[in-house]
Structure 1
């Protein structure tokens, strides 16, 4: 068994806080004696956790990208690394930060600054998934056999993910967070439109930091909405829903909590507004509400506030199948849109995605290769690489057929074992495991809008 160690960074730029982790990820090639060798991730170990910083904003309220870059540079140096040392990782922009006007550009700049194969990611569904993985809800569901929901309460949003037998089966994002009501130095309150409507619907008036009883009512109402969403047991106002509610098919038997608000659970008594917001009061309300949950409450995360950044650093990257075929293609390649409808392939570089589970026969493979080459004609005219991603294990055979129909020596890569859907983007790293596989990150890039994961 061959071994390789990748250095990975996870960076979370959230509504309230920014921080990072550094991990070592082990990759090994397994197989032989009649089986095809394949690369697998064998272990993940966090070797460094940064300080937790307030997310720097400029005078207009947008993310201060230069200040974020300074944080990353400072923490890399403290850990004894530089950006060239990193083989993988992800920077994710979360909560209200993803809605800032400059979020997309700042995210791209930070990813570029942070390392050669640091993926830029944004989107509530992805955040729900990563925070649940980082909190360990997936492992608990796999080990216990219980449907497990993780509730990640941050400064701007609450992300809910459902895991069954280790797999993420549903998710939801709510416009509820600890910094949606803020107090300035004079104590004056500023509420987001969603919180203003929630106040109006419940006869609540929050004008200043001294309105403790009113903010307590508001937090109790928010906690009730979270409970209703998690268990599909009551109404959830439309203005509190970021994308869509859970389908209701999976009723959690166990619940874990993560995020900055969950970090306050242990010390959220009394009238506290330490950070100029309602984080502590919201924590108290959710903790109290959790006592009536019809599910087992578990403490799966040792550091709740770090769940998303752990997910970004340790669970963003996967390894392709080992039956890959490629020629003259320069890697890494980043931010390729996944396209499975051949008619949508234009002159912009993309990843041609074949999401089916069936393995075609040789005759069908020849036809598929010809169709791909024809559909990519405008890419070929521009000399852009052809990238093909299959879910089922047939990329080697398809790649051989594709090589025959493309111009001699034309750059392409064809790999399998990766499920790409509409709305996804993919990053592809330099080959690992002796060239037998490539690291890949399937992600979303959604800024302040709705995610879309439906198939083409």
Structure 2
């Protein structure tokens, strides 16, 4: 192994954009809802690669995904194929295929004490993955670093994520809260795609090392998410049964199950079975209405589910799912094997809740990387309250499912925006993000004013703060929206409103400086990439 590189120097990736004959240097990409951009092998056969037209409309890029979870860390390298959308006049590109180049072994996430991730050992894991993949750092075009579960509780988690993703703006950095982690698992496991194909109401249960994430999906749309404090590595022991790790949720579960444990104490296999059985019963109780079920209130890390069983099917993902489906039998000193067995038994005894369906991915149900460059140029009717609002980098995009084609109800719009922030674990005034909307219908004063009223009602704290507000639309109304917010609604926050830009959930954007005299700004779009199995590749799916 080569000497370790400092983490702040390890990821330095190139920033070259491909340019093709007859295609502008701008390569924007817009991805439709599920079902509209699936890739089939016959559409891109090898014989077509020698066709000049096919080559000019397609290009490849190398992407990497680094997933740092409560129990495990993994690195995935992929080769993405992007295709120009529409006719010859379109310069927008979408991902149509993904080839797996290398998947690292799933490693235990390294910790140093109770409060820190071991950054040196984590760096070794990532560097070794690059070496084993045989992929030079400079050959990686884009990627994503995702921290989830108990890993996000560590005091240096944010610093590590930022360090791993500092590559000239090319990597996406996301610290996923419980709801967002449930979304990522629902897409990464293939449950969203399966729900769309079957036109079914499914439940995805993602059981990791520290938490269990729940997502209810209907016809390819995520209806609701939740999380409870149940996981396979909340307690861990060494080969002699000595407790070497115990998280607060593990201590609570052990006490409640009548099997109290302490760091340095001993724990038998019988103890692990008892605690795992208690956990499995509470996972079941979280999704079902039954007066005999135990109270799960203390375990919920989010709001409770309201979309309860029965479901058309239940899909398990996460590390514990490997044991549920019998794909893994090795023990790692934690509760994983015992929890997997108890979950399987518990759900099998209650078939009325829903048929247990296979997952396309279990422990690898995660983000595979990000696609870039997709670069869009804004319209020239943008609104900037001052030039200090530019540039901005790695801004997460939220795309609430709002109907802006008909009469606009300001109150309903405000609630939809607030609900969407909760879905992604974002709190008003704490984190910067970009709100994206599809505008339809007439740009009348009444409709635009109702839209602005809904925005102001949804984000009263943010709009009165010093934190920047970024709004992105595809209709040419940015200047009108900005002026109304500033002049009629007295918004105090720095304001950036762009139009002519197409974005969606799971996009991250870099917005450059104003280009004069055109009066436009460049917007680089980086979309999270998920593997959707044989039916295609999806990036940046909308959440409803």
Match status 1:28 vs 2:113: no
Query: What does 1:332-411 align with in structure 2 at a 5 Å threshold?
Result: 333-335=393-395, 353=435, 355=437, 358-361=440-443, 388-390=471-473, 393-394=474-475, 397-398=476-477
Q: 1:219 to 1:36 in 2, by over 3 A?
A: same
* Aligned position for 2:158: 104
* Aligned position for 2:248: 193
Alpha carbons 1:153, 1:262 under 8 Å: kept: yes
Q: 1:114 to 1:53 in 2, by over 3 A?
A: farther
User: Cα RMSD between the aligned structures?
Assistant: 4.6
Match status 1:439 vs 2:525: yes
Of the three residues 409, 415, 418, the one matched with 2:503 is 418
* Aligned position for 1:427: 509
Q: 1:356 to 1:23 in 2, by over 3 A?
A: same
Deviation at 1:398, TM superposition (A): 3.5
Match status 1:163 vs 2:217: yes
1:151-198 deviation per Cα after TM superposition (whole angstroms, max 9, x unaligned) = 111111111222211222211111111111222465233543333333
Alpha carbons 1:63, 1:100 under 8 Å: kept: yes
* Aligned position for 1:246: 305
Query: What does 1:72-111 align with in structure 2 at a 5 Å threshold?
Result: 72-111=126-165
Structure 2: any 5+ residue segments left out of the alignment?
1-53, 400-412, 415-428, 456-465, 485-495, 513-520, 530-542
Q: 1:12 to 1:163 in 2, by over 3 A?
A: same
How does the TM-score come out when normalised to structure 1? 0.73
Where 1:304 maps in the other structure, the secondary structure is coil
Q: 1:4 to 1:249 in 2, by over 3 A?
A: farther
Query: What does 1:57-206 align with in structure 2 at a 5 Å threshold?
Result: 57-59=111-113, 61-112=115-166, 116-184=170-238, 186-189=240-243, 191-206=246-261
Deviation at 1:29, TM superposition (A): 2.6
* Aligned position for 1:17: 72
Match status 1:53 vs 2:136: no
Query: What does 1:170-319 align with in structure 2 at a 5 Å threshold?
Result: 170-184=224-238, 186-189=240-243, 191-206=246-261, 209-233=266-290, 234-248=293-307, 251-265=310-324, 266=326, 274-292=331-349, 293-294=351-352, 295-301=354-360, 303-308=361-366, 312-313=367-368
Structure 1: any 5+ residue segments left out of the alignment?
342-346, 373-381, 406-410, 444-453
More off after superposition, 328-337 vs 284-293: 328-337
More off after superposition, 246-255 vs 320-329: 320-329
Task: Supply the distance in 1 between the matched residues of 2:308 and 2:440 (Cα, whole angstroms).
Answer: 27
Where 2:364 maps in the other structure, the secondary structure is helix
Paired residues, what number? 411
Task: Supply the distance in 2 between the matched residues of 1:313 and 1:55 (Cα, whole angstroms).
Answer: 18
Where 1:23 maps in the other structure, the secondary structure is strand
Q: 1:428 to 1:46 in 2, by over 3 A?
A: farther
Where 2:334 maps in the other structure, the secondary structure is coil
Q: 1:258 to 1:385 in 2, by over 3 A?
A: closer
Task: Supply the distance in 1 between the matched residues of 2:497 and 2:342 (Cα, whole angstroms).
Answer: 54
Task: Supply the distance in 1 between the matched residues of 2:257 and 2:390 (Cα, whole angstroms).
Answer: 58
Task: Supply the distance in 2 between the matched residues of 1:297 and 1:114 (Cα, whole angstroms).
Answer: 44
Alpha carbons 1:318, 1:441 under 8 Å: kept: yes
Alpha carbons 2:390, 2:511 under 8 Å: kept: no
Task: Supply the distance in 2 between the matched residues of 1:332 and 1:354 (Cα, whole angstroms).
Answer: 15
Deviation at 1:307, TM superposition (A): 0.8
How does the TM-score come out when normalised to structure 2? 0.63
Task: Supply the distance in 2 between the matched residues of 1:155 and 1:89 (Cα, whole angstroms).
Answer: 24
Q: 1:206 to 1:69 in 2, by over 3 A?
A: closer
Alpha carbons 1:172, 1:245 under 8 Å: kept: yes
1:54-97 deviation per Cα after TM superposition (whole angstroms, max 9, x unaligned) = 21222455111232223222212322333443333311111111
Deviation at 1:438, TM superposition (A): 4.3
Alpha carbons 1:369, 1:401 under 8 Å: kept: no
Task: Supply the distance in 1 between the matched residues of 2:328 and 2:347 (Cα, whole angstroms).
Answer: 14
